[in-house]
Amino acid sequence: MSDPTERYRSKHVTEILLKKINKEIGQIGNPVRLMHVCGTHEHDLVKAGLRSLIPKEVELIAGPGCPVCVCSAQDIDEVLWVADTHGAIITTFGDMMRVPGSTESLYQAKGRGVDIRVVYSVSDAIKIAEKNPKTDIIFFSVGFETTSSITAAEVIRTSIPNFSIYSSHKLIPPAMELLMQRDDIEFHGFLAPGHVSTIIGSKPYDFVPEKYNFPVAVAGFEPVDILLGIYSLLKQIRENKPKVDNVYKRYVKEEGNLAAIRALDDAFVISDARWRGLGVWPKTGHEISKKYAHIDAKKKYTIPDLPLTDLHKGCLCDEILIGKTKPSECKLFMKSCRPDHPIGACMVSHEGTCNVAATYEEIDL
């Protein structure tokens, strides 16, 4: 079997799907707004230029799907506090480096001498801890269920006295519920994140159509995958028969990845979590469970309350994150806030809505 991924880039299938999408929206007769909650969806649909290919009546809005963008300044402040007071080495993903904290980013802290090392995975952070037994090593762990399950595997099997994990992990399905409950954002369906769904399965979204009468399509990342998802959502809207339609069945099972779910349930407990600029959202976070307290940085160190600035003056990241505002509506966009000089978290990561808008806008011009 040749690489199956290629097929999901087929121009022919893409064109036919676009025709189908046109037909559906024509029959619906009203503009439709669909929300995805995945940084990778944002990146891949921009890369494929899908927004300009689909009819303008179908608006794709980016929800709070990039873990770097939603990470509160509080978490950055707290790991830096541990580094400053205990001489700890911070290890984290490269994406985190330039995310603004209340007063400085990790990158800026590194500039004043804090030892911060970028790793590809939690396993690399553990190797650093093994090599430096006399120094405390913290792994600053961010991400949704996909990344959390990997951290969970290491939480369960690792016990090194000088190593701990600061969990900034967040959950997708309860965040989706909170988005549906807000009356300040109008949208009509969810494109559910493919990679998160490989872990949790398609079942956890069942409440969306059942309780909120809202359509869901679990979609992958190739152009055909994303268009199939959009087509499914429009069809559900037109027929007024919302359901959870999994169009990424080749990788996503209804029940998900059971080994990963077991690891998540064992390593973490559900907790309240602070989202950038949006305050604390109940039951949307993952903290390390009591059983593994020895590896939990939040238990190991008594971190005091630190003064918090989650949004810098003029930055609208909170509204950008929930798809309420577009980057071009922010007065700082491409003026004082640019990819090489980010003011808000959404301008930092490659899949942050403001960064994507900035990068591709430049190419367009």
Partner 1 sequence: MCLAIPAKVCEILKNNRIIVDITGVRREADISLLEETLEIEDYVLVHTGFVISKLDKKQAKEDLKLWDELLQA
Q: Which does 347 bind (CB under 5 to 8 A by kind): ligand SF4, partner 1, none?
A: ligand SF4
Q: Which of 154, 140, 37, 155 is nearest to 96 (CA)?
A: 140
Kindly write down the DSSP assignment for every residue of 52-82, as one continuous string: HHS-TTEEEEE-S--HHHHB-HHHHHHHHHH
Which of 22, 103, 110, 150 forms a contact with partner 1 (CB under 8 A)?
150
Q: Which does 236 bind (CB under 5 to 8 A by kind): partner 1, ligand SF4, none?
A: none
Cα separation, 254 vs 267, in Å, equals 22
Q: Which does 249 bind (CB under 5 to 8 A by kind): ligand SF4, partner 1, none?
A: partner 1
Which of 180, 263, 267, 278 forms a contact with partner 1 (CB under 8 A)?
263
In the complex, least distance from residue 124 CB atom to partner 1, rounded to whole angstroms: 8
Which of 22, 121, 289, 325 forms a contact with partner 1 (CB under 8 A)?
121
Which of 72, 91, 105, 147 forms a contact with partner 1 (CB under 8 A)?
147
For 102, half-sphere exposure in the C-beta direction (CA atoms, 13 angstrom radius) is 12
Cα separation, 354 vs 242, in Å, equals 31
Please give the backbone phi and psi of residue 121, each rounded to the nearest 5 degrees, phi first: -155, 170
Cα separation, 165 vs 88, in Å, equals 12
Q: Which range, of 25-33, 45-53, 235-243, 312-320, touches ligand SF4 by CB under 6 A?
A: 312-320
Task: Verify binding: residue 126, ligand SF4, rule CB under 6 A.
Answer: no
Q: Which is nearer to partner 1, 37 or 330 (CB)?
A: 37
- The 3-state DSSP class for residue 254 equals coil
Which of 109, 263, 278, 315 forms a contact with ligand SF4 (CB under 6 A)?
315
**String marking each residue 71-110 x if it binds ligand SF4 according to CB under 6 A:** ------------------------x---------------
Write out the two tokens for 157: 């099997």
The C-alpha angle 22, 328, 107, rounded to 5 degrees, equals 120
Kindly write down the DSSP assignment for every residue of 161-200, as one continuous string: TTEEEEEEEE-HHHHHHHHHH-SS----EEEEEHHHHHHH
Handedness of CA 225, 231, 235, 240 (dihedral sign): positive
Task: Verify binding: residue 48, ligand SF4, rule CB under 6 A.
Answer: no
Cα separation, 234 vs 9, in Å, equals 21
Q: Which of 117, 159, 110 is nearest to 139 (CA)?
A: 117
In the complex, least distance from residue 146 CB atom to ligand SF4, rounded to whole angstroms: 9
Residues 16-45 that bind ligand SF4 (CB under 6 A): 39-40
355 near 339, Cβ under 8 Å? Answer: yes
Q: Which is nearer to partner 1, 39 or 344 (CB)?
A: 39
The site that binds partner 1 (CB under 8 A) totals a number of residues, namely 43
The residues of the shown chain that bind ligand SF4, judged by CB under 6 A, are 39-40, 66-68, 95, 315-317, 320, 327, 330, 332-333, 337, 343-344, 346-347, 349-351, 354
> Which residues bind to partner 1, rule: CB under 8 A?
1, 3-5, 7, 13, 16-17, 20, 38-40, 66-68, 93-95, 120-123, 142-144, 146-147, 149-150, 153, 195, 198-199, 249-253, 257-260, 263
